[in-house]
Amino acid sequence: MPYNEYLEIEALQRPSLADFRARFLRPQVPVKISGAIDDWPAFKHNKWTLDFFAKNFGHETVGIERFEPGERGEGKNSPQDYVKHLKFQDMKVGELIRILKEKPDHMYYMAQHPFRRCFKGLRADIHENPYLRHCIKYIPGAHMDSYLWIGPRGTMTPLHQDPMPNFLIQLVGRKLVYLFPPEQARKNLYIGQFERPSFSPVDVEAPDLDAWPNYRDCTPYRTVIEPGEMLHIPRNWGHAVRSLDISISISSFFITYGQLFKLLPEYVSDTWSRLRDGRRWDQVNERAGVNAPPRNADGRT
């Protein structure tokens, strides 16, 4: 099929846990699920709003991805533009909310901020994900946890892979997600041929087919996740995400015990290499592996 024709992701209304595991988790197939967070206070009562975060957590300091006007947006969403213009900055949540309301063209994005580092009491607003029972949901140092995203319309996370499966859960606004099976990663998506090893150099919305001709042979999927929906993104599936509205999302990385046993040698080797090289993760400004901040020569972020 042509690269610019998209397959549909199956969408289900709260499937059983057994059905999810048999049809999607074990075979590593994406699925969009609705109805699973209808009883979460954060969603049920429309509790999580920009004003809610400004009022209750405005004093908290978080790390943001910062783009100035004209650096991102339609026609400027390539991975190359992303890396070229990306800046990291610490900012009070209240100031971020003010910018989102008054200056949405600035593209200030709280991307993948770990719950456990701040936002005391916020977890009470979300219940346990019913599809993560008997899964491992947190491993220190493995960049595996639940993360909060708050950002404006138009943010674009370029095409990349994550080593852990993930549920992307939408609370406010909509997100457009492109997905690609993992066997296409190196040949058709050119993952590994970019300065960030897990990223593709291909702009999924405006691909340069002269530079990346194999992209013509990819098999893309595309879906929009609405408020109250969650998307299962299996490990190593390529994906790119664009916010269609001001958006508040949760990404929950996890792993099954079976997957952990298979990946344990790789994890131990990677951890040992990082310790040996003295590249310890800054737990104060932790990011998931997708958006790890660059480090200076002295090891600081």
pLDDT at 290 over 70: no
Residue 166 token pair = 């993930």
Report which of 193, 195, 238 is spatially closest to residue 218, judged by C-alpha positions: 238
| For range 35-40, the mean pLDDT | 95
Residues 6+ apart with CB under 8 A from 71: 81, 85, 107
pLDDT at 292 over 70: no
Give the per-residue pLDDT at 300. 41
| For range 235-247, the mean pLDDT | 96
Distance CA 137, CA 124 (A): 17
Task: For 170-194, write each residue's pLDDT tens digit.
Answer: 999 999 999 999 999 999 999 989 9
Confidence of residue 50 (pLDDT cuts 50, 70, 90): very high
Confidence of residue 267 (pLDDT cuts 50, 70, 90): low
Residue count of the chain: 301
Task: For 103-132, write each residue's pLDDT tens digit.
Answer: 988 999 999 998 777 788 898 999 989 999
Distance CA 204, CA 189 (A): 9
Give the per-residue pLDDT at 275. 64
Confidence of residue 195 (pLDDT cuts 50, 70, 90): confident
Residue with tokens 């971020």: 96
Residues 6+ apart with CB under 8 A from 168: 175, 177, 225, 230, 231, 233, 241, 249, 250, 251
CA dist 279 → 6, 11, 154 (Å): 40, 41, 33
Task: For 73-109, write each residue's pLDDT tens digit.
Answer: 877 889 999 999 999 999 999 999 999 999 988 999 9
Distance CA 256, CA 271 (A): 19
pLDDT at 220 over 80: yes
pLDDT at 54 over 60: yes
Q: Are 238 and 158 in contact (CB under 8 A)?
A: no
What's the distance, Cα to Cα, between the start and end of the chain in Å?
44
pLDDT at 287 over 60: no
